[in-house]
Structures are given as C-alpha cells and as structure tokens.
Structure 1
Amino acid sequence: MYDVAVIGGGLLGCAVAYHLARAGTRVVLLEKDELNRHASGQNAGSLHFQLEYRMVADGDAAAERAARALPLHLDAQRAWAGLAAELDAPVEVVQHGGLMLAETADELDRLRRKASLERRHGLDVTVLTGAELTSLAPYLAAGVRGAAYAPGEGKANPRLVTLAYARAASRLGADLRTGTRVTALTREAGGWRLTTTPTAAGRGARTDGVRAAAVVLAAGVWTAELAAMADVRLPVVPVALSMTATAPTTPFLPHLVQHVGRRLSMKQTSDGNVLIGGGSPAKFRAVDGRIDLETAPELRYESLVGNADAARVVPAVLRLPVLRCWSGATTLTPDQLPVLGPLPRRPGLYAATGGSAFTLGPTYARLLAETLLTGEPSLPIDAYSPARFGFLNAV
C-alpha cells in the first residue's frame, strides 16, 4: 500500500515522484517502458516562456486565454535556473535568451500585441528592430523585421533532465518500476487498486499490482486512455510532431529562435548540432481504425521540407547537412491550457498533461505534489482543472 502511485516515467511523472518522496510520501512510479522513453526524451529541449505560435495564431482572444498560464511560465523560468543545484545533477540548462521573429508588417504588429500582453502578466520581453536586433543576433536573415526578446528563455538537455529527477526520487525512497503497464484502475475503500502486467521492457517486473490512496496520471499521450479506465473522458488530443538535427558546427546560435507567424523552434546544442522543430506534424499510424500510440509516428516529407524552409531566417543553418530526423508525440487541449489537478467525482485521482509539458514540467509537478500534500498549491491551478471541461463518462 502506497500513499501515491504515479503512472508515467517521463519528466512529469519522475518530477512528481521526486517532490512527493522529498516530503516523506510513500510513492511508487509505474512506467510501461523505460524512463524517458517517449515525449520527455524525444523533444528538442526548448524552454520557451513566451506564448508560442500555436497560442497566438488564432487571434487576440485566443492569446488572452493562453496567457492565463503565464504565471506558470514565470515560475518555470525560475525553476529551471535552479534545477541543477536542486537535483545535484547536470541537466545542461542554458538560459541565454530567446527570440520570436517577425518577417512582415502584420507579424510585427502581432508580435508587439503579444509582447504587451506578456508584459502585463510580468514576463520580461522586449521587441527589438533594426540595429538593436542586428547587434544582438547578427546571424538572422536580412528579411527579419523584428523579434521579441525574452532573456530567460533557453534550452535544457531532455536526455538528462528526467533521469536526474528519477535518481533524486530514488535516493529519497521512491519505488520506480519500469516495464510495468497499468491495465485497470479500480476504486476501492481507502484508495485505488492498480492492476499491472509486465511488458517487454520489464526484465523481471513484478506482477502483484499496486494499491494506493491516490493516483497521478502523468503518462503523456496515454493519459486519456488511463483516465478512461476510471470512466472519465479527458478531451485531450495526441499530436504527432517531427524534428530535425543538423551535423555539428562551430557555435554561432546562442539563442532559442521561434517565429510568430509559423511553426519553428531552433537552437544549437552544446555539441554544436542545430535542432529544428516547433510543431511540424508527423503522422500517427492506425490499427483497427484507432490511433496507434505504441508505434513511433511516421515522418512526413512536407514537414521536413517545411522545417528547412522555416530555417531560412538563420541562413547559416541552410548550409549544414541534416544528420537525423525523428518523430515524437505530445498532448494538447482545446484551449491550449494544461490539465492539472484532481479529476471530478473520482476522489484521489489526479492528472497532469497538455500545454508545454517539458518547459513547464518542473512547475506542473511541484504544484500537483503540493495539491496532494496540502491541498494548497503555491500558485492557483483552478484555471487548469480537468473540471473546466465538465464531467463526461468515458462510455
């Protein structure tokens, strides 16, 4: 019997387990594959605290709704800055600033409205043009009219962050079980019973199941599937994405680069590779008419070409050979805000997914752990409650 069972061995799950274990909670983490196997380890590691393209593309009203999460952005910006010291582990966090670009007059106007909105919520962001922008970012193409500069943006190494949380959680007494798939969630007196089965990644995983007073669903694109086991339908959508990595080159790109008018994120790693992403779609496979979440999404040629076309805002990137392209998946909600908190009418069942789950992961995890421990998170999370969608039975 545990106090809390966390389902999902990505950044969110491992970070929640860490915070709970640090508070002395008896916590078990269940992951059907290996830790960091999916979205947390496959993304490009952007720390983008400005509102993203997808949040402002549908006009000012949509941007205003998305801006309700900016308190989480500000908190996460501080959390990432101190994460290596907190976990006593290298996570390769670099916060040299980020630029969101505009190439047309309309985009520049949108950029200025976005920056004004963000400043009202406390984000340090400035719109730069002309010589001021050229001085800061001489690598940009001549056609870039302006950029919103946020000095706290940057990058982290997704191959290190989740595992650093996992090791810290383990040191504090958390029971981490990989190769353990949850196949049923059953409400019973005093909490929940989780039926489990070992997977190919288990190598001797236990099959005795788990009982816990509370359960946290932090399984990325599988979160809705798990919620359905408790007869709850979460209106979250899995989204397949593609990314590109170039061959390494001499450091020349110190900033995170995004675009206000198109899908783009670009950054250079410590090894010199340039990573290009930002939401270019990949394609889920289907099995019996249903999305196959177990198989990596297929890359789409037009997305890879689109990544290269978007990269023209940094001309030096176009001269670099492509080293690798890969796909991943994330989860979004209809209002672009995260799902964070207790599920309605299911005592002791919590969910964390959606939104910018890598960038905001440290904050999501701490706030959810505080909710479980005291019922009073250090930042209000009512706006992100699953209850905002109403309660819908899964069947």
Structure 2
Amino acid sequence: MTVMPAQVELPGTLDCLVIGGGLLGSAVSYYLAKAGARVRLAERAQLNSAASSQNAGSLHFQLEYRMIENGPEAARKAAEAMPLHLDAQHAWSGLEAELGMPVGVSQHGGFMVAESPEQLNTLEQKVLLERASGLEVELLDGEQVRRRAPYLSERILGAAFCAKEGKADPRRCVLAYAAAAARLGARIDSGLGVSALNYEQGVWRVYFSDGSECRARTLAITAGAWSGRVAAMAGISLPVSPVALTMTTTVRTQPMISHLIQHAGRRLSLKQTGDGNILIGGGWPARLRHTEGVIDLDRRPELLLNSLTGNMSAALAVFPELKKVSILRVWTGTTALVSDQLPLLGELPKSHGIYIATGGSAFTLGPTYARLLVERILGRPASLDITPFDPRRFGSLTLA
C-alpha cells in the first residue's frame, strides 16, 4: 500500500470537514479534493476501523434479502434506490483506474438463489421490479444455474443472476481513497474525535478530542453507526439506528466459488476472496452491548450462537462443499440503517450546511453516495435525482 504524503496544514476556514474515516468519508474527501476544495477528514479511531473494515466487500446490485423479506410494498420502496445501484455498477468498474491503485474489484456476476416454489415466486416479483428500474438481471432455472455455477447445490430450483455483481477489498478501498485524497491536498487525521459543534458567524466551529479546533463552511457526516450522535451535537435528530451483524471467514482454500451468492429466502451472502478465504454473512444479527442502559458503540457486539449456526446452515444448503473447509474466524460489527430502509443523502434540514451520507447498502453504493454528496456540497448540478433520499423527509424530528 502506498504511504500517504505528509499531512498538509490548512490554515483558515475549510470548505468542508468530513467526519468519519471509512469508505464514505475517504471517498467524499477524495472527490472534494479533486474538485479543488479545502478539505480535512477527522476519524475518531483509525481509518477503516469500523463498518467499512468489518463488512465482506459484497457488490450486490440486486435487491437484498432484507429488502424483499417483508413483502411487495417494502420491496417497491427499496427499489426506489435502484438508480444508485445502476450508477454504482459503473463506478466500481472504473475505480482502480481512477485511484491508480488495486482495490480488489472483481465483477464476475452474482446469483440470488431459491430453494422453494415460494422463493421462486419472490424472485420473479423482484426481477420485475429490478428490470423496470433498468437493472440487467436474468431469471434462471436450476439446470441453468448449475451450468454456470456447478458448485451450487441440487436443492437450488432457480436464481436471479446479475452479471455486474461481485466483490471488492474493503481494506484496500478505504486506504486507496484516503491516499488519493491526501495526494490532492486533503488533510487526513486519525485518532481525532469530534467533541462539540457550534455554528458561529456563518461557519462551523468544531472542537476535537485533543483540545484543538477548526472552522469549516460545511460539514459532511460519514460516521456510519455514529452518524446520529454526530448530528445530535448540532441539535438535529435522525432516525439512524446502529445494527450489529455477524461475519465468518474460512481458512484459505483452492478456488471454489467464482460468484457472489445471495438467497431469496434466507439471510446469506457467500463469496471467495482472491486470497482463497470464503466469506459468509448475509445480515445475521449480533447483540449490541450497553453501558448504564445506553448502547455502547465502542464495544464490539456480542456474538449470538443462533446467528452463527443459522448462517452456517444456510451456507451449507447452498454450497455443500463448504463442510470440507475449516472456519478461521468469526467476528461482529456495527452498521447503520435508516428507519425507512432508504439512504440519507444530502443536506440535513435546519442545519446551516451539514451534509450526510449513510444507510442503505453503504459499501456497495459508497462511490456513488460520495460523488453525489459532493455535488450537493459544492452546489453543482445533480448527476442523479436524489430527492427520494433527501434527509428533509425527516425534518419534523428536529424542532429548532
């Protein structure tokens, strides 16, 4: 990994302070710096230490199981974000060339499989929604699925296949974006938390955990599960909830899985990294920890045995050869979801220039979220209509 240039000093007022150093924060900093803005990123821990490093790096442009499990109306609501999915397909395809660094992008296609007639019906309805939104997705029967992916179980009755799905390396992505931002003049600070926000004389005065401060015309909140707490420092209430999830990885093995695998009736994501590890996830919950009755986001969520066994059962049903591979590690992590399952993307209501990007499929859509948010911050024409994701839809939660 290329070492970042020495940090530049940015005297005076920043154009934007970015709060949170995961994929979104690093990408927002890059696109701002690329546009010539004076930008600084502040990360309370280390870059890529939270959700961006704890997820599996799936590039899933089809609607996920969590978006279709609650019926047609919920699926139609989730499909409002499909223009973002279409944009992200192209963004990931060209990302390594843009950043000038490898980030492990591999787009060899993804299946969402079905094991029952009911799940097949769900897939059919999902595919209709996706095609109506412009996503290129095929509906295959079991024989067609195994012709393309012979490693999948005979139990698979059919699948939806999207040729542009795949994976990327979350560790490399964040550091590549941050390094590119630093080369363009952005200041990147880790181990620097935000302790207070005050709006004074048309600019934000930001106080940091080390006692220092800075001034910025705008703020960009890209803090994942911490986003609601950062917004609350400015007196703004948001329906952003932390969600604890479980992931598993196997030891390295020979190439066995060449696609991204999801399921229409179970929580499952399955893929193999370039190093040979098989990653198993799909939204199985962990338990958030509490300190004095308050969710403690600084503590790793507690592993739930039922989630681990349920996840392994789903994976083995789809990919029986997994039983021959040893588990290397199981971990938990925290991500953020918005109450209506759609992202928050744009300027916060009544905020004097605070912008946010969070929720939805934040890793898959990260490059798209970041570019679109920067367009808003800089007042540029929108390349996509993000009105459905405007934070002002929750403006009634903030009274001041």
Task: Give the TM-score band, short-chain normalised.
Answer: over 0.9
Once the two structures are superposed, residues 234-261 of structure 1 have per-residue CA deviations (whole angstroms, 9 ceiling, x without a partner) of 0011100010001111102100000011
Q: Which moved more, 1:130-139 or 1:290-299?
A: 130-139
Tell me, what secondary structure is at the counterpart of 2:369? helix
Tell me which residue corresponds to 1:212: 216
From 260, 274, 281, the counterpart of 1:277:
281
User: Contact 2:142–2:159 at 8 Å: present in 1 too?
Assistant: no
1:316-370, CA deviations, whole angstroms, 9 ceiling, x for partnerless residues? 1122110000011111112111001001111211111100000000000000001
Q: Distance in 1 between matches of 2:384 and 2:270?
A: 30
The CA distance in 1 between the partners of 2:57 and 2:275, in whole Å, is 14
Residue identity matched to 2:302: E
**Residues of 1 paired with 2:326 and 2:107: CA distance?**
26
1:13 paired with 2:17, answer: no
TM-superposed CA distance for 1:224, in Å, is: 0.1
The correspondence of residues 13-92 of structure 1 with structure 2, limited to 5 A, is: 13-92=25-104
Report deviation, 1:271: 1.1
| 1:360-388 deviation per Cα after TM superposition (whole angstroms, max 9, x unaligned) | 00000000001111242210111101111
Q: How many residues align?
A: 387
Q: Which amino acid aligns with 1:274?
A: I
Per-residue Cα deviation, 1:273-317 (whole angstroms, up to 9, x for no partner) = 100001011111100101000111111111111111011210011
Q: Secondary structure at the match of 1:180?
A: coil
Secondary structure, counterpart of 2:131 in structure 1: helix
Counterpart residue identity of residue 342, structure 2: L
- CA separation in 2, counterparts of 1:263 and 1:121? 24
Q: How far did 1:116 drift?
A: 1.0
Structure-2 residue corresponding to 1:203? none
SS at the partner of 1:250? coil
Q: Between the two proteins, what is the percent identity of the paired residues?
A: 55
RMSD in angstroms over aligned alpha carbons? 1.0
Detail structure 1 runs of 4+ shifted over 6 Å in the superposition.
none
Tell me the residue number matched to 1:116: 128
**Partners of 2:145 and 2:38 in 1: CA distance:** 51
* Deviation (angstroms), 1:208: 2.1
- 2:276 counterpart letter in structure 1: G
- Name 2:196's counterpart in structure 1: 184
- The residue type paired with residue 90 of structure 1 is P
Instruction: Identify the residue that residue 117 of structure 2 maps to in structure 1.
Output: 105
Tell me how far apart the structure 2 counterparts of residues 257 and 49 of structure 1 sit (CA, whole Å).
12
**1:1-395 equivalence runs, <5 A:** 1-198=13-210, 207-312=211-316, 313-393=318-398
Query: Structure 1-normalised TM-score?
Result: 0.96
| Alpha-carbon distance in 1 for matches of 2:222, 2:214 | 17
Task: State the AA in 2 paired with 1:74.
Answer: L
Deviation of 1:394 after TM superposition, in Å, equals 7.9
Once the 2 structures are TM-superposed, how far is the Cα of residue 140 of structure 1 from its aligned partner?
A: 0.9
Q: Would you say the 8 A contact 1:232–1:391 is kept in 2?
A: no
Q: Cα–Cα, structure 1 residues 35 and 159, in superposed 2: closer, same or farther, change >3 Å?
A: same
Structure 2, gaps ≥5 residues long? 1-12
